């Protein structure tokens, strides 16, 4: 039996690293990263596009036409369009989201950014988010790329994760800890 369980993170990293190196050598990194973010937004917000990517029965020529149309309409970088066409011809377009997320992670890492996740029980203002980002940058001595989510299930407090460091000050977590102590008693 084969150990290969499908398209691995290693494979996604190889494709994304290749895209990074091509974009970097061509001095097109910023534009390709913007295209990548646009495509990830499109995948997140369009169920039709997500289904198009995930449909294994679609002919490659149809996918290439779609990419060419997107290239024309959204002024994509030609390097990015060629990369997408390459994924289609190699039958790897199905993994586009995984590859683009990996590409964005490589770009952040090369810039020296740390990825941070924040969840809060109350809706934070842009000023509060900016202040938290600045505080995290000072504490971790690195540029922070912040992903913020409002999560009402926390009841109160914050959950902050930077790399492998997690700080959970939410009331939900404290209630779970009390429940665990009561069960153990």
Residue ending a domain, among 109, 140, 167, is 109
Residue 101 domain-assigned (yes or no)? yes
pLDDT attached to residue 24: 96
pLDDT tens-digit profile of 93-151?
999 999 999 999 899 889 988 888 999 988 999 999 999 899 988 988 888 888 899 98
For residue 163, the model assigns a pLDDT of: 79
Q: What is the pLDDT of residue 102?
A: 93
Does the global pTM surpass 0.75?
Answer: no
54 & 101 share domain: yes
Mean pLDDT, range 70-78, rounded to an integer: 90
Domain count, the chain: 2
Helix then strand then coil, in percent of the chain rounded to 5, is 65, 15, 20
Distance, CA of 30 to CA of 51 (rounded, Å): 28
Cβ atoms within 10 Å of 10's Cβ, excluding its own: 8
Tell me if 149 is assigned to some domain: yes
**pLDDT value for 153:** 87
């Amino acid at each position: 039996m084969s150990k290969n369980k499908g398209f691995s993170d290693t494979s996604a990293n190889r494709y994304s690293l290749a895209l990074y190196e091509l974009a970097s050598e061509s001095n097109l990194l910023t534009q390709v990263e913007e295209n990548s973010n646009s495509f990830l937004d499109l995948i997140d917000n369009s169920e039709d596009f997500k289904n198009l990517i995930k449909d294994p029965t679609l002919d490659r020529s149809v996918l290439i036409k779609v990419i060419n149309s997107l290239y024309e309409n959204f002024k994509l970088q030609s390097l990015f369009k060629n990369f997408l066409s390459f994924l289609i011809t190699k039958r790897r377009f199905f993994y586009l989201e995984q590859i683009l997320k990996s590409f964005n992670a490589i770009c952040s890492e090369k810039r020296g950014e740390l990825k941070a996740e924040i969840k809060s029980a109350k809706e934070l203002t842009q000023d509060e988010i900016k202040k938290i980002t600045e505080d995290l940058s000072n504490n971790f001595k690195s540029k922070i790329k912040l992903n913020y989510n409002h999560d009402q299930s926390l009841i109160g407090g914050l959950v902050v994760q930077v790399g492998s460091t997690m700080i959970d000050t939410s009331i939900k977590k404290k209630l779970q800890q009390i429940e665990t102590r009561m069960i153990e008693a």
